């Protein structure tokens, strides 16, 4: 069972078209207006599935599950050489010398 009202509210609400636009903006994803209803439908369908988690008591459970599966591995910090700088730069859509060329950033409108 969830203990906080905020969580309960979050789980009970449905997602609006504006919410889809907000999330798409957060992730820098262009979505066309005609795609929005289908994403909205998917959101609401999948959030309904997530509601099943409400039935499980997880109070006091440590959320870091992977601690039990794998311990953090440490190794010595030994410098190595990496000779692929040029090839890596060549993979860029637009390379200019030793740089990745992008549209102007400084002086953009506020």
Partner 1 sequence: MELWQLPAWRITEAVVRGELSVSEVVETHLARLRTHNPEIFALLTVTEKEALRRAAELDERHARGEEPGLLAGVPVVLKDNMCTRGVRTTCGSRMLENWIPPYDASVVTSLEAAGAVILGKANMDEFAMGSSTEHSAFGFTANPWDLSRVPGGSSGGSAAAVAAGFAPLALGSDTGGSIRQPAAFCGVHGLKPTYGLVSRYGLVAFASSLDQIGPFARDVGDLALALDAIAAPDPKDATCGTEPRPRYLDAMMTDSLRGRRIGLVKEFSGFDVDPELRNTLVHAARVCQDAGAELVDISLPVTIGFGLACYYILAPAEASSNLARYDGVRYGLRAEGDTLLEQYFRTRGAGFGKEVKRRILTGTYVLSSGYYDAYYLTAQKVRRRIVQEFAQVFSGVDAILLPTSPCLPFRRGELVDDPIRMYLTDVFTLPVNLAGLPGLSLCTGYAKNGLPLSVQLVGKAWSEQQLLGTAAVLESRFGTPRIAPLETKTHFKGGERL
Q: Which of 94, 97, 98, 110 binds partner 1 (CB under 8 A)?
A: 94
Rounded distance between C-alpha atoms, residue 2 and residue 11, angstroms: 10
Q: In angstroms, what is the minimal distance from the CB of 32 to partner 1?
A: 8
Listed residue (8, 22, 18, 6) closest to 50, CA to CA: 8
CB of 100 to partner 1, least distance (A): 5
Contacts of 68 by beta carbon, 8 Å cutoff, 6+ apart = none
Is residue 7 part of the contact set for partner 1 (CB under 8 A)?
yes
* 81 makes contact with partner 1 (CB under 8 A): no
| Residue 5 contacts partner 1 per CB under 8 A | no
Tell me which of 14, 16, 17, 88 binds partner 1, using CB under 8 A. Answer: 88
- In the complex, least distance from residue 42 CB atom to partner 1, rounded to whole angstroms: 5
Q: Is 45 in the site for partner 1 (CB under 8 A)?
A: yes
Q: How far is the CB of 77 from partner 1 (least distance, A)?
A: 11
């Amino acid at each position: 069972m969830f203990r906080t009202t905020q969580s309960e509210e979050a789980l009970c609400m449905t997602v609006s078209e504006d919410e889809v636009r907000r999330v798409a903006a957060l992730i820098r994803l262009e979505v066309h207006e005609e795609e929005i209803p289908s994403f909205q439908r998917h959101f609401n369908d999948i959030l309904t599935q997530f509601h099943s988690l409400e039935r499980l008591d997880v109070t006091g459970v440590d959320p870091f599950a992977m601690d039990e599966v794998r311990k953090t591995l440490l190794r010595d910090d030994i410098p190595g050489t990496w000779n692929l700088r040029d090839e890596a730069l060549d993979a860029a859509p637009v390379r200019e010398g030793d740089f990745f060329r992008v549209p102007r950033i400084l002086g953009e409108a506020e």
